[in-house]
Amino acid sequence: MAIRQATRSQCRHRVGAVVAAGARVLAGSPNRRRNDPTIDFRHATFHAEEAALRRAGRTEGAVVYVARVNRAGVPMLARPCPRCQLALAAAGITRVYYTTGPTETGTMLLLKIGDDFDAGSGSPADTTRLPAATSDGKETGAGSHECSPPGSA
């Protein structure tokens, strides 16, 4: 479903996000341009994760699926940016699944703001967020999914 949302995007980096709780889809959204008439000045964000969170309402304990596709519709890296990671954690999202390539996905574990977690021992301690990792356990770099005007670099 997140891939379907991404194909609806009119942006250079076509990203879609779906918020789900159990077997129920709460909301989905592609990323959008800042000058989209449905985005007012108070919500001048355009990342798909943030747009899906606004539509979802209550998200405590939910899971988010994020996908990015190229112009041919092939999945690409869609790891949420740091701003989206904070927004997802603040909304109570516990896990994010995202595309890393045509046939691979990555998983990111998030903790609520203020929770502490020691990644080494698996118990609460010093850090505020787990590092993002692909399904094979390797940490990945942040992917960008901004909306740039067509033809801009």
pLDDT digits (tens, 9 = 90+) for 17-57: 999 998 899 999 998 876 556 656 565 557 999 889 988 98
Residue 123 banded pLDDT, cuts 50, 70, 90: very low
Tokens 């703001």 correspond to what residue?
113
Residue closest to 80 by CA, chosen among 119, 41, 107? 107
pTM equals: 0.70
pLDDT confidence of residue 98: 95
pLDDT confidence of residue 140: 43
Give every CB contact of residue 151 below 8 A, 6+ residues apart in sequence.
none
Q: What is the mean pLDDT of residues 76-87?
A: 91
What is the DSSP secondary structure assignment for residue 51, as one 8-state letter?
A: H
Whether 65 and 58 have beta carbons less than 8 Å apart is answered as: no
Whether 83 shows a pLDDT value over 70: the answer reads yes
